[in-house]
Structure 1
């Protein structure tokens, strides 16, 4: 009796809360017309409610993309609106790459606070203790950022944010639509050509960040016994090159071919964990190896005492990783919508179609209201620290 009552109560609360999410996508050279179609689709599930939050992503160039973004913001009348140009967009259960298209995501979020953020280009991180981000309030849950990578030092910015606001999560992506005309960023009816835009989300809201780095491990975990900056010199007391050579020699021919296409290193983010599993490693590329010196170069600073494990990435590993992480997220509670920032190296470059990630997120979270774009770099927390990633799907799920 109590279980039945609890189910009815939860359903009534879900309906009465007024939380609604919608997404839309339209394709075609008439981006202004596509904008009108996409925003109408996204607003439909809101049942006439004014959106508290709107995101728009435009695959197009220059003035046409700017006009389309402005049209979406004008028609939606959202309290807060952000967006960016991109090389591909995601919405309506599909991904579209390399052709004119527009994706729109809208949410009615009563009881939730949304604070817009504008990051100026050329920000001097060394003199700005707040790193240009507003001080998170006690009830702020997450920040979402869209950044122009050519004009804003996002890696340094994240380092400063990690120091200023420990464990405050940031997610988002780097605008990927830059051509001769550069990127466009959208914020509350205005267009910016540099810096970044975003928002802080707080109040009565529950969210979950999911960062799928798309790799699977090869060989054992090892302790770094000697390293200088990004150069691995010794792993578990032997030259790093020898350790790597032995691991590659133990693989099947197919796995060795895969490693030759893209070998990575996972750096454990928590040295005190007894076991290091999926999601516990920050993935960085292996840049090269020198048989004579025995050193291996990787794409990040590595320090003695850290735990590392070599990794490979392919479509199968990326699918498995995303599916497992989504299952873990939905086990904590159902999702009602999500923003998806997928690397522009995924899509059709990694999978049979550009639809893979959005289909996986909708199925894994058992929800609609999913939109985003193919980014030139993805922002998301791993091991309690915000990181800049590549070949990653970074998801913000609303629970």
Structure 2
């Protein structure tokens, strides 16, 4: 598999940004190391362009007639290799060269056929969709691995999704035009498309994991048989007798949760892949309970944690290292090994790096400011993976496996 052509640009006029992106794509398609016959396009736009979504899709699909399938969405920010576009008009496109029988674009008007052997899926969703968590779980259940990756569209204007297949000729699309509002859409992949995906929570446990032994809806009353509020105050070394100091600490504290029988904290001291992190939203001094932004059940595992820039950087570097370890061979030619050890400026994309392209979905509350500067989050990814083709967006919630996350990053690579 060759490298996927990609391009990104910002401009007050979407036509100019599209022109810049198309120029980058055409230049790469002409290069030997890049895919010459892509068929699937991933398109992400910032919400500045949301009102022009249909015009943008019509334009790029007309300019790239060989690309018959499109998927994507809108974000308050979008991402590409080494760069983030926040609060500015921008778009990013990646063209994937995949066998036509190994993927299917789906949407609300053209649902995924039960006959397609889905292995995993890229999913874009509208956060206002009723019963969204159940729909995500149902979609995961339709894949052989149960693994989804993607996120919720985020926008201060219209919330749109792109989904069109077979150059508009797939039954069910009708006159929809490929731009949708509400529900789920995306791309399902068969097992012939090799993907590696990881979730970064950006959180560090600050206390031992415990079992929820008494609860009521979203309130934890007992942890390992002890009053939950007492456990929380002891773990954080705070007291309600000093409310100002206590509240400052509590606002920076979250709770990591996982189902009974699942690992909460891994061997590296970080949260496992099935952990969801939720905010503390209230305290019950009378019954010594702790209310969180998630329904809980007895038997679930929980641990108090903190989210900060240092933990986020370390965890992002960890998942990048895990991905590289999985996609790169144990033995490689000297030239390739030298390239991987080269400085950032020398680490140019090459097929021998074994990553054809990547999709990164991060929380709209993360991005450069959380990591210390403009584009800092994507710069960390580039330093860890090299200058691989990458597109993505900053979401209102992140999807990985059958979970809906918050304040996380989901990095997926095609190998």
Q: TM-score range by the shorter chain?
A: 0.7 to 0.9
Q: Which of 141, 163, 168 is 1:187 aligned to?
A: 163
Q: Secondary structure at the match of 1:332?
A: helix
Name the residue aligned to 2:114. Answer: 135
Query: 1:313-328 residue pairs with structure 2 within 5 A?
Result: 313-328=307-322
Whole-angstrom CA distance in 2 between matches of 1:259 and 1:136: 52
User: 2 CA distance for matches of 1:275 and 1:210?
Assistant: 15
Distance 1:373 1:42, change over 3 A: farther
Task: Give yes or no for the alignment of 1:225 onto 2:225.
Answer: no
Is the Cα contact below 8 Å between 1:258 and 1:314 reproduced in 2?
A: no
**Residues 43 and 146 of structure 1, relative CA distance in 2, 3 Å threshold:** farther
TM-score relative to the length of structure 1: 0.82
> Secondary structure of the equivalent of 2:297?
coil
Q: If each structure's strand is expressed as a fraction of its own residues, which one has the higher value?
A: 1
Q: Measure the CA separation in 2 of the matches of 1:348 and 1:107.
A: 27
Aligned to 1:31: 14
Q: 2:190 aligned with 1:202, yes or no? A: yes
Instruction: State the SS of the aligned residue for 1:395.
Output: strand
Is residue 357 of structure 1 aligned with residue 377 of structure 2? yes
Distance 1:219 1:136 in 2: 47
Does the 8 Å contact 1:25/1:104 carry over to 2?
Answer: yes
In structure 1, C-alpha distance between the alignment counterparts of 2:129 and 2:413, rounded to whole Å: 29
Match of 1:346 in 2: 366
Matched, 1:108 2:97: yes
Match of 2:36 among 36, 42, 49: 49
Partners of 1:229 and 1:302 within 8 A in 2: yes
Please state whether the residue corresponding to 1:208 is helix, strand or coil.
strand
1:97-124 residue CA offsets vs partner (Å, 9 max, x unmatched):
1111111112223476120101259xxx
Question: Offset of 1:151 from its aligned partner?
Answer: 4.0
Alignment of 1:217-296 (within 5 A): 217-249=205-237, 259-269=249-259, 271=261, 273=263, 276=266, 277-280=269-272, 281-296=275-290
Matches within 5 A, 1:56-95: 56-59=43-46, 60-77=48-65, 78-95=67-84
> Is the CA contact (8 Å cut-off) linking 1:22 and 1:370 kept in structure 2?
no
| Correspondence 1:21 to 2:16 | no
Residue deviations 1:169-211 (CA, integer Å, cap 9, x gap): 11111111242xx222222362223333211112532101111
Structure 2 CA distance for aligned equivalents of residues 169 and 55 of structure 1: 19
Gaps of 5+ in 1: 1-16, 122-131
TM-score (norm 2): 0.79
CA distance in 2, matches of 1:259, 1:51: 51
- The correspondence of residues 141-220 of structure 1 with structure 2, limited to 5 A, is 141-151=119-129, 153-163=131-141, 165=143, 167-179=145-157, 182-188=158-164, 190-220=178-208
Counterpart for residue 307 of structure 1: 301
Alignment CA distance shift 1:162-1:36 (3 Å): same
CA deviations 1:80-102 (Å, max 9, x no partner) are 11122221111242001111111
Q: Would the alpha carbon gap of residues 330 and 244 (structure 1) be closer, same or farther in structure 2, given more than 3 Å must change?
A: same
Q: State the 1:336 CA deviation.
A: 2.8
Q: Secondary structure at the match of 2:4?
A: strand
1:259-291 per-position Cα deviation (integer Å, ceiling 9, x unaligned): 434321111346265964534222122221122
The alpha-carbon deviation at position 143 of structure 1 amounts to: 0.5
Aligned-pair CA distance for 1:164:
5.2
Secondary structure of the residue aligned to 2:95 is strand
Question: For the residues of structure 1 that align with 2:250 and 2:286, how far apart are their CA atoms?
Answer: 20
SS at match of 1:143: strand
